[in-house]
Structure 1
């Protein structure tokens, strides 16, 4: 069997997340495995660089899998795009080193979170932005973000209370910018915990609202307590932008 690498784009709005689940077939992984299995005539297990939550989108998710087929990589791509639903697309397919694993070999990821702060709704982007009432203090958000960059134990920013592995991660950069009525937060790091980007965003938004001071961030990190951090933002504003190897 050959090892393959896919780059996938999807609108996660109507799916129960990336990961295949026994109680639902409505997942990105499940849809891809079904199409690939029908093409190859055997069961296919696909591994993603990250398991996006229900409602979260991806511009360039990366996945790997093993497949026995006579089709060239471009043929695999085209077959998938023919039979996948319109909100999932395979951007590229290529053969990979036999030891390549999309999750285990990932070095860094970029996520973006989009907020709509305009007085009128954004009709055409409504599925990809989170509406937010009133203006935000971007300067305060940037000061708070500076405390959250670097290598830290981010347990306070993880929703999984039973997580047994290390919660230490390195966040290389957090960008906060506004373009018209949209406020965008960009996160670049070597890895992110369950709900981490959405909780980081919620905490920064609370700083932007004046509900917490930027100088509170070190104390939140040191506490290792999820209750000390901010709210978990809704999923629709989050998109996985890039995975680096």
Structure 2
């Protein structure tokens, strides 16, 4: 018997959700005293459907302004609700910039954060002489030209298992700075430059710091070997500028196949439109 057959609606108190959101209007994923968080509005919507308080646990705590297409959360509740209640019902109680994409009953040992095998992010950079109204707070705009070849060369030197101290926030609380970067790719889609990165885990501000270093290299402000030199220094104080949050998207979180999460949980592929701007 597969996990899908063994775990069904009403047979488990634990449910996983796929969530997408635009982070522009939120103080981040996690509850904050000074503003509204994505976690807050999601838990409020879930509580209305469950008719009782709900506490959710996420795969990755995104910062203020960061977006998500493939965030995963789980929660426990003793009430029985059909899948439509956890998707359409919850969405009816959410603001327009937050939505549940799918819901799935999961085994008791599933944890959105600790069961994850890898996380995948994308950072979007809009390259054109004038700013865009449509991409405001959805991509980093730069009017300066970027040399892509040295950026790709520098990115390649960062792939693998390394100590990423130079690429994490000074306030990062992770016990170890060692992570395995599976890939760091750059793709040109018309006016957009997409930086895609996947790893077994990320440190606080790690992706934005990687982007900041690659941007400095692409602009010619730093040599191509600067990325590797920073890696070897293991000193955040010597690192580059942290790229703004609004270009960053949590795209996907990978889990063991045994948890049988929906096959369609992967995000839509970005395709260039007539202007060469990718549609997410």
- TM bin (shorter chain): over 0.9
Partners of 2:45 and 2:191 in 1: how far apart? Answer: 40
Counterparts of 1:1-245 in structure 2 under 5 Å?
A: 2-21=13-32, 23-24=33-34, 26-161=36-171, 163-245=173-255
Q: 1:148 to 1:181 in 2, by over 3 A?
A: same
Partners of 2:172 and 2:88 in 1: how far apart? Answer: 41
Residue 276 of structure 2 aligns with which residue? none
- Cα RMSD, aligned residues only: 1.4
Segments of 5+ residues of structure 2 without an aligned counterpart are 1-11, 256-280
**Alpha-carbon offset, residue 30 of structure 1:** 0.9
**CA offset digits 1:93-150 (Å, max 9, x no partner):** 1100111000001111111111111012222222211111211010010010011110
Question: What TM-score do you get using the length of structure 1 for normalisation?
Answer: 0.95
Count of residue pairs the alignment pairs up: 244
Partners of 2:115 and 2:18 in 1: how far apart? Answer: 15
Q: Give 3-state SS (helix, strand or coil) of 1:148's partner.
A: coil
Would the aligned equivalents of 1:116 and 1:183 in 2 still touch at CA under 8 Å?
Answer: yes
Would the aligned equivalents of 1:15 and 1:54 in 2 still touch at CA under 8 Å?
Answer: yes
Partners of 1:30 and 1:223 in 2: how far apart? Answer: 39
Would the aligned equivalents of 1:25 and 1:31 in 2 still touch at CA under 8 Å?
Answer: no
Partners of 1:216 and 1:118 in 2: how far apart? Answer: 26
Q: 1:114 to 1:98 in 2, by over 3 A?
A: same
**Alpha-carbon offset, residue 39 of structure 1:** 2.4
Structure 1 moving runs of 4+ over 4 Å: none
Partners of 2:188 and 2:129 in 1: how far apart? Answer: 15
Question: What TM-score do you get using the length of structure 2 for normalisation?
Answer: 0.84
Larger deviation, residues 212-221 vs 184-193: 212-221
